[in-house]
């Protein structure tokens, strides 16, 4: 296995990609060899000793590209040093703790991942750029997004500080050795971990209001 670090991101409007680029730049400045790639463009992650995952979470769930990435590469990620950041808060008055609790609940579905660092950053909201389902949601009279104006809640100082912390952890051998996962990572005939398949199925179930 090579000593390179991967910053893998999923993005819909470019917000998370821009954060991923800043994180990757900070890791490079610390002396690490880093690739920054979109999750959909990756066919293998075997050559990376450490991975930073970045994705927004909409309506309490990862976007499809992130879910596919986790399902496909679960057997590898379970044995790598992984850090995770998410963008999920676009309403200035919404408590950060509320968004963080949703992120923590989301990560609970992937207990085998065991990231050594997790961060939640504010996102960017531009009603004029919306498309598809997001545009439809925005137009609904009862939607909380209906009256939300354009905003950018990304704190670049906080992002830089977190990236510096992650870089130091990678240089230190990334934290402590990973404890055993709650459930052994068994591989199905299709090549995906059975635990990730169950997580994926659970993620597709309708949620109670």
Helix (H) or strand (E) run with residue 76 in it: helix 64-77
Q: 86 and 121 in contact (C-beta within 8 Å)?
A: yes
Closest CA to 11 of 47, 40, 48: 40
Q: 82 and 116 in contact (C-beta within 8 Å)?
A: yes
Per-residue pLDDT of the chain (209 residues; tens, 9 = 90+): 458 999 999 987 778 999 999 999 999 999 999 999 999 999 999 999 999 999 988 667 788 899 999 999 998 999 999 999 998 755 556 656 666 777 888 888 888 899 999 998 886 665 555 555 555 455 556 555 556 666 777 888 999 999 999 999 999 886 544 544 444 344 333 334 444 444 444 544 444 44
Give the domain ranges of the chain. 4-204
Q: Is 0.75 surpassed by the pTM of this model?
A: no
Q: Which fold has domain 4-204?
A: Rossmann fold (3.40.50)
DSSP string, 88-157: EE--TTS-HHHHHHHHHHHHHTTTTT--SEEEEEE-EE-GGG--HHHHHHHH-TT-TTTTPPPEE---HH
Cα separation of the two ends of the chain: 45
């Amino acid at each position: 296995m090579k000593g390179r670090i991967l910053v893998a991101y999923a993005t819909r409007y470019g917000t998370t990609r821009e954060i991923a680029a800043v994180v990757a730049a900070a890791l490079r400045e610390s002396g690490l060899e880093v690739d920054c790639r979109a999750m959909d463009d990756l066919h293998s992650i075997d050559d990376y000793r450490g991975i930073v995952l970045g994705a927004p979470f909409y309506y309490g769930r990862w976007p499809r590209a992130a879910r596919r990435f986790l399902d496909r590469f679960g057997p590898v990620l379970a044995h790598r040093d992984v850090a995770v950041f998410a963008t999920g808060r676009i309403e200035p008055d919404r408590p950060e703790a509320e968004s963080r609790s949703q992120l923590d609940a989301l990560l609970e579905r992937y207990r085998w991942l065991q990231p050594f660092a997790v961060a939640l950053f504010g996102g960017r909201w531009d009603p004029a750029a919306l498309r598809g389902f997001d545009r439809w949601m925005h137009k609904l009279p009862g939607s909380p997004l209906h009256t939300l104006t354009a905003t950018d809640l990304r704190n670049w100082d906080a992002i830089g500080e977190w990236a510096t912390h992650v870089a130091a952890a990678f240089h230190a051998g990334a934290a402590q050795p990973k404890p055993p996962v709650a459930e052994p990572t068994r591989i199905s005939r299709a090549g995906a971990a059975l635990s990730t398949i169950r997580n994926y199925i659970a993620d597709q179930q309708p949620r109670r209001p």
